[in-house]
Structure 1
Amino acid sequence: MSPLNKKLIVLLLCFVGIATVLQAQGLKAPNKAPSSGMRAIDTTVLPVASVRSSDFIAAIVNLEPITNSEVNQRARELKTRMQGPESNMPQSQLLRIALDQLIDEKAQLDLARMNGVQASDEDVAQGINNVSQQSGLDEDRLKSQIQRDGLSWEAFKTQIRNQITLQKLREREVTNRIRPTDNEIQAFIRENEKKSVQQNIRLAHILVVVPETANEGQINTLKTKAENAIARVRTGEEFAKVAQEVSEATDARQGGDLGLRSSDRYPEIFANAVSQIKLGEVVGPLRSGAGWHILKLIDRQSGNDQDKLTTQTRARHILLKIKSNTNANTLRAQLSQIKQQIDRGAENFAEMAKKYSEDGSADKGGDLGWATPGMFVPEFEEVMNRLAPGQISEPLTSRFGVHLIQVMERRQVPLSAREIQERARAALRESKLETAFEDWARGVRGRAYVEYREEPQ
């Protein structure tokens, strides 16, 4: 499989959020025995033409067959996403995981049909555009690549349609029903405030061990050894070098570096000793049951400073609206030409926005001002967030038309009280989502008619 094909498969799995679903399922192999909700059904009504003669049926879900080739295709897609020990998973286990996912999806797609949940043609077009954007291929090149890799364009569009349909169903049935209460939100904020008071500190450490049986003379001798070590550091020697030579702690080979951790994870004697010193200062020797300690404060951070900040982006754009006598491909081609002119330095983004943009920001050179996360539609914001300051996007399609985006600058600002509440709400919803989705998916599958046939291979 070509690297580009692997990239396309990953994008197909990820662009509508299915990666979250796979994570929630944990990539665990299912039990071979069907659950109590799975019952054998009469399959004589299945059309013979629905399965290629060279293939065989691995399972049936609500009269819909899952073929061995479908299972192998999904297994290949999963394989491209695996890293580390997972990538060495036995093929038989990988096939079982693939079959399990396909059974879940068939059952959920059937539920979507019964409830009138479906992806529109516009949704599919936007989904294909997302894959095109992220793969760096225009639609014609994407189509050629998909077909070279053995998948028809119609089959690819069907996969996109199914994944968007599943996303819509899951949002309706699970995501939108998770509503943290005001009390839960306030409790979450209070807990985070407690954590933010807790400091994270990074220490380096030298230990001169004092045996339990040591007499007073030996203790003083070892203290002198520790004092000599701290004197070497204070006269300019590298702490790490002295630690490697003197320290008897297990971290001596790493120069005594204990890493960044919350202060409550250090011995109280350590946390208290460094609470009033400045970065880079050394303290000691300190006596504990283990011996004499010397500490250097390398770094100090508030526990959750980042939780109180948000990243704002200032961007500008050129918008061409899709009208009855134009289509998205024509507008994308027009914006591609504009981008090339700007990239060559022949034109200025702001001037081109004033000349061509059909958005209200055109008079300001397309400047959208400072924006916090969530202010723009997802398809616009996702592309904007991937751009570095000064970078210009490829043309992208949103519900408003076709855009060209340039990020001008970014900054971090304190969150408002409302933004803190919304961030807490989102964190609580996310924490509940995995369990809620697993419970829902288990229920959908339990109500479906499932019959296992031949083992996939």
Structure 2
Amino acid sequence: MNVKPLAVAALLALSTSVWAAPIQSVDRVLAVVDQQVVTVSELAVQSKKIRASLPKGSNVTEQQIQSQALSDLVDQSLMVQLAQRTGIQVSNAEIQQNLNAVARQEGQTEAQWHQSIRNALLIEKVKQRDLHSRVRVSDAEIMQAIDQLPASAKKGHSNNMITAYMPQHILVAVNAQTTDAQALEKVRQLRAQLNQGESFEALARAHSQDPGSAANGGVLGWAIDGMFMPEFEKAMKSLPQGALSEPVRTTYGYHLIKVLQTRQQDAGDAQLRAQVRQNITEAKSQELYGDWINQLRKQAYVSVR
């Protein structure tokens, strides 16, 4: 639920998307992807990046490089358009936060540079919503992964204690089907039901639109600073244990939040666990990515010329 600058920098470093390179007025359209186009110049830039990433002596053919480049550009366009269509937004403040992490590419205007960051953030957010949120990582999986790390990779105690939280939430998404006002009204109705004694777990299973936690009654597991979006974290940290929040707006929609437990953890241990959790989440999300992007392709109009 939180997009970090390094994630955006990595996305832009590995791929040049359909917005990154300046498009000449004579540039030929190579493919149409719903409401966007892919041009020959964009394919050339993306192909160049793929070539640069190949190890020395690689026997990958030019045809394979061009095919992969086109596939990447189509997928990026699909993800950006999905994010825009379903109400995901990127603020100017978020773009400013990422300027130092993302280098301006040769030939980019300042406007194109900012747009490339905006779209990279859109892609990261839509992947977090549709992929990361579906992934559950258990404490047992984290401990097993830590046990397998070499001793040099395990951080010792820092003697700096921090607070960890176990939040529970219900999400009502704002998207193409549900306006902000409709989502807010729905979450207020759910809050009223909770205040009348309804079970948080039951309402989360029935109504929450966070697929990763709904089946678990809305429980998100242990978390420390930096794991969720700032608005979510601010509300979570201000709540007494067991209290119910007011509706909290994030990029995803409106949340109702309850803190089930808190505990003190050594900062070094907590940061290691958070990093391992993130690594496992990324790996599991990657397993889901192929089916997800194929489904987007099936639902879209894609024409290669």
Tell me the TM-score normalized by structure 1: 0.36
Distance 1:444 1:414, change over 3 A: same
Q: Which SS does the other structure have where 1:84 is aligned?
A: coil
Q: Does 1:130 align with 2:101?
A: yes
Q: CA deviation at 1:52?
A: 5.3
Unmatched runs of 5 consecutive residues or more in structure 1:
1-11, 23-50, 133-141, 196-302, 315-373, 379-412
Q: Does 1:81 align with 2:53?
A: yes
Q: CA deviation at 1:54?
A: 2.7
Q: Does 1:56 align with 2:28?
A: yes
Residue 151 of structure 2: aligned partner: 305
Q: Does 1:179 align with 2:172?
A: no
Decide whether the 8 Å contact of 1:71 with 1:98 is kept in 2.
yes
Aligned mates of 2:36, 2:68 — CA distance in 1? 19
User: In the alignment, residue 186 of structure 1 is paired with which amino acid?
Assistant: A
Aligned mates of 1:77, 1:53 — CA distance in 2? 23
Aligned mates of 1:13, 1:420 — CA distance in 2? 17
Aligned mates of 2:129, 2:267 — CA distance in 1? 33
- What is the aligned counterpart of 2:111 among 151, 154, 169? 154
Aligned mates of 2:227, 2:146 — CA distance in 1? 29
Aligned mates of 1:84, 1:103 — CA distance in 2? 27
Identity in percent: 21
Q: CA deviation at 1:101?
A: 0.6
Q: Which SS does the other structure have where 1:429 is aligned?
A: helix
- What is the aligned counterpart of 1:110 among 81, 88, 111? 81
Q: CA deviation at 1:110?
A: 1.2
Aligned mates of 1:307, 1:123 — CA distance in 2? 32
Residue 16 of structure 1: aligned partner: 9
Distance 1:73 1:414, change over 3 A: closer
User: In the alignment, residue 293 of structure 2 is paired with which amino acid?
Assistant: A
Aligned mates of 1:419, 1:13 — CA distance in 2? 16
Aligned mates of 1:89, 1:74 — CA distance in 2? 15
Decide whether the 8 Å contact of 2:32 with 2:303 is kept in 1.
yes
Aligned mates of 1:444, 1:63 — CA distance in 2? 14
Q: Does 1:441 align with 2:287?
A: no
User: In the alignment, residue 445 of structure 1 is paired with which amino acid?
Assistant: R
Q: Which SS does the other structure have where 1:117 is aligned?
A: coil
Q: CA deviation at 1:68?
A: 0.7
Distance 1:93 1:121, change over 3 A: same
Distance 1:95 1:190, change over 3 A: closer
Tell me the TM-score normalized by structure 2: 0.52
Structure whose CA Rg is larger: 1
In angstroms, what is the RMSD of aligned CA positions?
3.9
Residue 69 of structure 1: aligned partner: 41
Aligned mates of 1:90, 1:452 — CA distance in 2? 20
Q: Which SS does the other structure have where 1:94 is aligned?
A: helix
Q: Which SS does the other structure have where 1:116 is aligned?
A: coil
Deviations 1:332-354 (A, max 9, x none): xxxxxxxxxxxxxxxxxxxxxxx
Unmatched runs of 5 consecutive residues or more in structure 2:
16-22, 161-223, 229-265
Deviations 1:218-249 (A, max 9, x none): xxxxxxxxxxxxxxxxxxxxxxxxxxxxxxxx
Aligned mates of 2:30, 2:96 — CA distance in 1? 32
Decide whether the 8 Å contact of 1:62 with 1:448 is kept in 2.
yes
Aligned mates of 2:109, 2:144 — CA distance in 1? 54
Residue 163 of structure 1: aligned partner: 120
Q: CA deviation at 1:434?
A: 1.4
Decide whether the 8 Å contact of 1:59 with 1:67 is kept in 2.
yes
Number of equivalences: 195
